[in-house]
Structure 1
Amino acid sequence: MNQNNTQYEKIFQNILELLDPASREQALAELNKKKDSYEDLAPILWNSFGVMTILLQEIVSIYPFLLSPNITSQLLNRAGCAINLLQCIASHNDTRGLFLRTHILYFLYPFLKTNNRNRSIEYLRKATLFLISSMIKNDNKDAIEFLISSEIIPLILRILEVGSDAEKNFAIIIIYKILCCDSGLIYICQSINRFRAVEITLKLVLDSLPTTQSLPMAKYVIRCYARLAENPKIREILSKYLPGIFNDMTILHIIKDDNNTKRCLSNLLIMLSPTQ
């Protein structure tokens, strides 16, 4: 018990150091190391005076460099730690709702919107995508509905088109999780333009599979189509225009060792067959 108290004393000391600009960088790094080890770090951070303001200051300090390749490793590491600590808060059951209601996530959207493909900005973009994917990991309806209302889907689709492989892996999971929520499926399917935007991007992912041979991408894109096909109007469209690659040996080879995905693909093809 004494050892546990000592560890928490260190956390509170790090938070005090966070308030001092002279010790802030080291405090950010130390708290970032602890984020996976202390289950209640998120509530402590959220309820500590000035912490959220400081984390947002670290993130906003990167904005002037979004169109520039000249970002220092010091600024990059500080912003990365800030995003990681926000991820801890956004994914915790006790603080997720508070995080959503304050719309803090909007401060991270510039990292998704920028066309800067610099590795430094890509690092922050991946951290942001990881935050979002962990926030909706357990199919949290409030989090997914917030994402829908914030019109994030076009940003995620853009990343699926031009992002790095790691970014695309996060992006396809986010799209799938949105589709898994009934309100997400309704939102995408109620407008033919929204459906077309999603379907065109998923088709691009499919077309890239012979080159990438990516099982995670194949697994989630198949699940996305299967979920879309649950909507009667979209099922009718897909039955006429389903991409031919679904019957191609290439995709079957990629998923050959994943029985769940093979079953999902088989069910999708049966659902869209003319006899259904």
Structure 2
Amino acid sequence: MADNEDMQEIDNFWEDAWEEITLDFLDSKIDQDFAVQNCRKSERKKHKNRRMNKATEIPNLILQFQEENCRESALRKLSTFLLEKREEDPDNYYWTAHILYNSCGTMTILLQELLTFSRMMVDGNLTRRASKRLINVLTLFQCIAADKVTRHSFVKSSVPSFLVPLILFKAPMEEFENVRAVALSVIGILCQARESDIIQWAVENNMVEVCRISIEIGNELCKVIGMHIIEAIMQDDSGLSHICNSMCNHLLEELTATWYSLVTFLTVDQDYSPRLLFHIIRCYILLCDNVGGYNVVKGSLPEPIINGSFHDIRERFPLIESLIQQLLLTVGKIDRSIPASPH
């Protein structure tokens, strides 16, 4: 009975908080501002994990991965513990990353879990329970990706490449969007430190295109994380050069077309998070650091950015207002949201 109660409590924790927790991994000023304005963190109930209170239990839980009958429960308990302790106990959080990656057979077991889920995707047998189980696995991958030592080994192992089918898969069940978002967040955590070898891996494995597609097919959170990853890649010179390379100009064309459609959509539905507009404007500004990118931005900047369609958002978020002004100044466009001075 106690185990069932714990399972339900953990499920409730995920239902209430998984989106916020996922975004917490992605460092963005606008995310923080948006969270403050909506008072989400202050209103969220703190989950108490009664079944695991000490970091000393972590090795024993990882050992339980070896037993198929114990694995699902162990994954759930460890992932929930890590989500709670990431900020308040970072030393043990990163210590866990080392144990997960270096303990005998653990990465093989986690990869096996991922492949089992992938077979269910192909066979059309996805369930809500299977999705939650995989999210617990992906939460452990988040931990490994967050540590500056294990993330490099993680990338070299090619395990992150196995996340791409999860990101690109189209499933009718709503719960799968959670899987897509958390899988994307693993890539986001890898890229957000903007380490040159990680960015090079992202470029070589076509993560820009993967993220572009996730922006088109995913829910709001997937769009935000996809934009965050693209921005992180563009902040590296090699990443920006790759996107603007004339030898693969289709990538830049498709990317800006996706952003154009997204901006147009946001003018219609401004209930969407301002995080999306923030990242889009940032990416346009970054493109302007490249001559080819600058020419594309100047010739195809969406009209709603110029004509004041986002007036309310710009008033609420001075950072977005400042970025739009910077972008328009860079490309020599007149901000038509500002009334012309009378002659």
Partner in structure 1 of residue 160 of structure 2: 105
Q: Indicate which of 258, 261, 264 corresponds to 1:201.
A: 258
Distance change in 2, residues 1:202/1:23 (3 Å): same
Correspondences of 1:223-238 after superposition (within 5 Å):
223-238=282-297
How many Å separate the matches in 2 of 1:9 and 1:28? 16
Structure 1, unpaired ranges of 5+: 1-5
On the 8 A contact 2:167/2:180 being kept in 1, the answer is yes
Distance change in 2, residues 1:10/1:114 (3 Å): same
Q: Indicate which of 218, 234, 238 corresponds to 1:179.
A: 234
2:310 counterpart SS class? helix
Q: Which runs of 4+ in 1 moved over 6 A?
A: none
How far the C-alpha of 1:8 sits from its partner, in A, is 4.2
How far the C-alpha of 1:117 sits from its partner, in A, is 3.7
Q: CA RMSD in A?
A: 1.9
Partner in structure 2 of residue 28 of structure 1: 75
Q: Deviations over 1:92-137 (max 9, x none)?
A: 1120100011110111111112122422322211110111112222
1:93 counterpart SS class? coil
Mapped pair 1:211 → 2:261: no
Distance change in 2, residues 1:12/1:251 (3 Å): same
Which moves more between the two structures, 265-274 or 182-191? 265-274
Distance change in 2, residues 1:181/1:252 (3 Å): farther
Partner in structure 1 of residue 193 of structure 2: 138
Q: Indicate which of 241, 258, 262 corresponds to 2:300.
A: 241
Partner in structure 2 of residue 3 of structure 1: none
**Counterpart amino acid of residue 136 in structure 2:** C
Which moves more between the two structures, 131-140 or 107-116? 131-140
Mapped pair 1:17 → 2:64: yes
Matched residues, percent identical? 26
1:115 counterpart SS class? coil
Partner in structure 1 of residue 325 of structure 2: 266
Distance change in 2, residues 1:53/1:237 (3 Å): closer
How many Å separate the matches in 1 of 2:286 and 2:256? 12
On the 8 A contact 1:218/1:251 being kept in 2, the answer is no
On the 8 A contact 1:161/1:204 being kept in 2, the answer is no
**Counterpart amino acid of residue 120 in structure 1:** E
What number of residue pairs does the alignment pair up?
Answer: 270
How far the C-alpha of 1:274 sits from its partner, in A, is 7.4
**Counterpart amino acid of residue 203 in structure 1:** Y
How many Å separate the matches in 2 of 1:76 and 1:233? 42
**Counterpart amino acid of residue 76 in structure 2:** A
**Counterpart amino acid of residue 296 in structure 2:** I
TM-score w.r.t. the length of structure 1 is: 0.91
Correspondences of 1:40-55 after superposition (within 5 Å):
40-55=95-110
TM-score w.r.t. the length of structure 2 is: 0.74
How many Å separate the matches in 1 of 2:61 and 2:297? 54
Correspondences of 1:141-152 after superposition (within 5 Å):
141-152=196-207
**Counterpart amino acid of residue 187 in structure 2:** I
How far the C-alpha of 1:150 sits from its partner, in A, is 0.4
How many Å separate the matches in 2 of 1:274 and 1:16? 60
Distance change in 2, residues 1:50/1:205 (3 Å): same
Q: Indicate which of 256, 276, 279 corresponds to 1:220.
A: 279
